[in-house]
Amino acid sequence: MAALTARDIMTKDPITVERDLSVTDAARMMVESRVGALPVLDGDALIGLVTEGDLIMRDVKVEFPTYLHLLDGFIMYPPATARFESELKKAVGATVEDVMSADPVTVQADALVSDVATLMVDRDVSRVPVLDGDRLVGIISKSDIVRSLIVEG
């Protein structure tokens, strides 16, 4: 039996959204469709992925930057500033574009499932959009990987 590819296990033609969709509408679509992520398209181009985690982040309290006390003055710790700005943007985001993960990890449709699984672990992602060239054709979740083990086994 030939090794399974992304095309063999992916959910075909995933539900997609556009960048200007409201976060509330995206959440509603996820709940009604029982999916944990929605690829974000600009025309036909994949520009991001909005996940349950991105939507939950909107309701998380923002962690304020770390300040260092030095010579009777306060200095903001620079890495904390960038993280704060990112968290703040997600916390007040009103559209999918405000909370999505831009440039998501993707795989090609002919990628081996074993390579997809390795990529998901290495990059610590739960879902990856599947492309055929530049065109979105599906999405793979960790659950799809687990189900493929049964098929291969």
Q: What is the pLDDT of residues 32-47, one digit of tens each?
A: 998 999 999 999 999 9
For residues 86 and 98, membership in a common domain is answered with no
Phi, psi angle pair for 61, to nearest 5°: -65, 140
Greater model confidence, 67 or 55: 55
Residue 1 belongs to some domain of the structure: no
For residues 32 and 11, membership in a common domain is answered with yes
Residue 68 belongs to some domain of the structure: yes
Enclosing domain of residue 84: 62-92
Per the structure, how many domains does the chain have? 2
pLDDT given at position 95: 86
- Paired residues of 74 in beta bridges: 69
pLDDT given at position 87: 57
Residue entry with tokens 């509603």: 28
Whether the predicted pLDDT of 15 surpasses 90: yes
143 in Cβ contact with 20 (< 8 Å)? no
Mean of the pLDDT values across residues 116-145?
95
Residue 131 belongs to some domain of the structure: yes
**Of 92, 112, 144, which residue is a domain's last?**
92
Q: Could you read off the pLDDT of 85-117 as tens digits, one per residue?
A: 565 555 555 788 988 999 899 999 999 999 999
For residues 51 and 111, membership in a common domain is answered with yes
Spatial CB neighbours of 63, under 8 Å, sequence gap ≥ 6 = 83, 84, 87
* 72 phi-psi bin (left φ>0, alpha ψ -120 to 50, beta other): left
For residues 146 and 108, membership in a common domain is answered with yes
For residues 121 and 145, membership in a common domain is answered with yes
Percent of the chain with pLDDT over 70: 73
Question: Looking at 20-84, which runs of residues are DSSP E strands?
Answer: 37-42, 45-51, 67-70, 73-76
For residues 51 and 69, membership in a common domain is answered with no
Which amino acid belongs to residue 128? V
100 in Cβ contact with 50 (< 8 Å)? yes
For residues 30 and 97, membership in a common domain is answered with yes
Spatial CB neighbours of 64, under 8 Å, sequence gap ≥ 6 = 84
Can you give the pTM of this predicted structure?
0.75
CA distance 24 to 35: 15
CA distance 56 to 90: 10
CATH number, domain containing residue 112? 3.10.580.10
pLDDT given at position 52: 86
Residue 81 belongs to some domain of the structure: yes
